[in-house]
Amino acid sequence: MKPAPFEYAAPETIEEALELLDEDALVLAGGQSLVPLLNLRLSRPARLVDVNRIHELATLKRSDGSLSIGATVRQATLERSPVVRHGWPLLAQAVRYVGHAAIRSRGTVGGSAAHADPNAELPVALTALNARFHLRGPRGARVVEDFFTGPLETALAPGELLTAIELPPLPADSRTAFAEYAPTHGSFASAGVAVVRAPGHAAIALLGTGSHPIRAAKAEEALREGHARDAAELAASEIAHPHRRALVAALAREAFDATAPPTR
């Protein structure tokens, strides 16, 4: 099908974009989730505000040890970035599961976050990495840590734009892993586990709640103390759905094995 008619605007500054973002408008970034919804007429916005021509949103840069991912940085850019591979390897491990190459060419990291699909990989990786979300709205700028609030729901208020995602540096000697189960390569995952593990540190984020990604706090505590088997069971206990719970247990064991400290 073809989309219902809409007005299209491609502003070149954040300020212009905010002026255009009224209640009947939607932000268009990579379009890999939004355009299917338009084509199926499940979404019928009066106006699309295409943010791809706002240059300052397209930068991926490291400064003061943190990584700043502009809202329109492509998934393919993450995949190819040596800075990401060396500094935040979990992102590189997760992004290769996002759709297919042709999706990642256009799809953006900010778009994946703002769309907040319960079965998407990048929100889970960002949750394990203590991401901070930079928002701009008619009433100014703010930074949010608890960005994901429900299935397809985020902390974005009407009229607000996600401008960048900031990731703090990983602890020294971190090992990371992303494990997921999807029916076929490139389709949305049924369950997944993202892990960052370092001496005295464990971060575990789960995909499979049916809602937004969560941190498995009890499992993190067990993993910090070196009890990987218990940690996998504790992570699984966070998931209500029986099949997904079993998948999370298996995926957590796989991810914890992959991040086990080297034996000397």
Partner 1 sequence: MRVALLINGVPHAGDVDPRTSLADFIRERGLTGTKVGCEQGACGACTVQLDGDPVRSCLTLAVQADGTSIRTIEGLAGEDPHPLQTAFHEAHALQCGFCTAGILMTLDAFLRDHPDPTEQETKEALAGNLCRCTGYEGMLRAVARLRPNV
Binding positions for partner 1, rule: CB under 8 A? 1-8, 10, 28, 31-32, 35-36, 38-40, 48, 50, 52, 76, 99-103, 105-106, 184-186
Point out which residues pair with 206 in neighbouring strands: 193, 214
Nearest to 261 by CA among 179, 202, 212: 202
Q: Closest approach of Cβ 1 to partner 1, in Å?
A: 6
Q: Which is nearer to partner 1, 99 or 206 (CB)?
A: 99
For residue 85, the minimal CB distance to partner 1 (Å) is 15
Which of 40, 157 has the CB closer to partner 1?
Answer: 40
List the Cα angle 223/188/50 in 5-degree steps.
110
Of 13 and 39, CB closest to partner 1: 39
Q: What gap in Å lies between CA 216 and CA 25, rounded to an integer?
A: 36
CB of 2 to partner 1, least distance (A): 6
170, 198 contact by CB (below 8 A): yes
Q: For partner 1, which is the closer residue by CB, 1 or 172?
A: 1
Which CB atom, from 71 or from 232, has the smaller least distance to partner 1? 71
Q: How far is the CB of 50 from partner 1 (least distance, A)?
A: 6
Work out how close the CB of 59 gets to partner 1 at its nearest, in angstroms, rounded to a whole number. 18
CA distance 50 to 104: 18
- Minimum CB distance to partner 1, residue 186 (Å): 5
Q: How far is the CB of 114 from partner 1 (least distance, A)?
A: 17
What residue ranges in 24-174 does DSSP mark as E strands?
A: 25-28, 47-50, 60-63, 66-70, 132-137, 140-144, 148-150, 153-154, 161-167
Phi first, then psi, for residue 236 (nearest 5°) are -65, -35
Q: Which is nearer to partner 1, 104 or 197 (CB)?
A: 104
Q: How many CB atoms lie within 10 A of CB 21?
A: 23
Which residues is 25 bridged to in the sheet?
A: 47
Order of strands across the sheet that contains 214-215: 175-181, 191-198, 201-207, 214-215
Choice between 38 and 231, CB closer to partner 1: 38
